[in-house]
Structure 1
Amino acid sequence: MSLERSVMAFAGFMVLLSLLLTAFVHHNFVWLTAFVGANLFQSAFTGFCPAAMLMKKMGIKSEAELAKK
């Protein structure tokens, strides 16, 4: 799986997890959903994504790197 797809999968998982936590644990977990959404929005414009940086350090390759092989 490429870095780009991993970031999308992670963001989707975090949104679903935060919605479950909001529904079953405490209503303030909705702020986690807002944080993930805001992070996705700003990364679309700036290219800065902390999750992508961590995944890159873990060795996940981008689509461009995978295409070179």
Structure 2
Amino acid sequence: MTVDRAVLAFAGVMVLISVLLTTFISPLFIWFTVFIALNMFQSAFTGLCPAAMVFRKLGLKDDGTAKA
């Protein structure tokens, strides 16, 4: 698995978790979903993704198309 695919999978899982928390625990967990979306949005423009940095440190490899 590459870093890019791991980041996409991680973001998807986090969104699903936040939707479940919003539905079953508290509507205020919608802010968790907003945080995830804002992080993805800023990453698209800056190339800075904390999750990608963690996955690289864990040993996942880049696919060679983009370096952040």
Root-mean-square deviation (Å): 0.5
TM-score (norm 1): 0.90
Show the counterpart of 1:18: 18
Aligned pairs for 1:26-41 (under 5 A) are: 26-41=26-41
Number of positions where the alignment pairs a residue of Structure 1 with one of Structure 2: 64
Q: What percentage of residue pairs aligned between the two structures are identical?
A: 55
If each structure's helix is expressed as a fraction of its own residues, which one has the higher value? 1
Larger Rg: 1
TM-score, length-scaled by structure 2: 0.91
Q: Give the superposition deviation at 1:6.
A: 0.4
**Counterpart-to-counterpart distance in 2, 1:59 and 1:32:** 27
Shift in Å at residue 19 of structure 1?
A: 0.3
> Where does the alignment leave 5 or more consecutive residues of structure 1 unmatched?
65-69
CA distance in 2, matches of 1:31, 1:61: 31
- Unaligned 5+ residue runs, structure 2? none
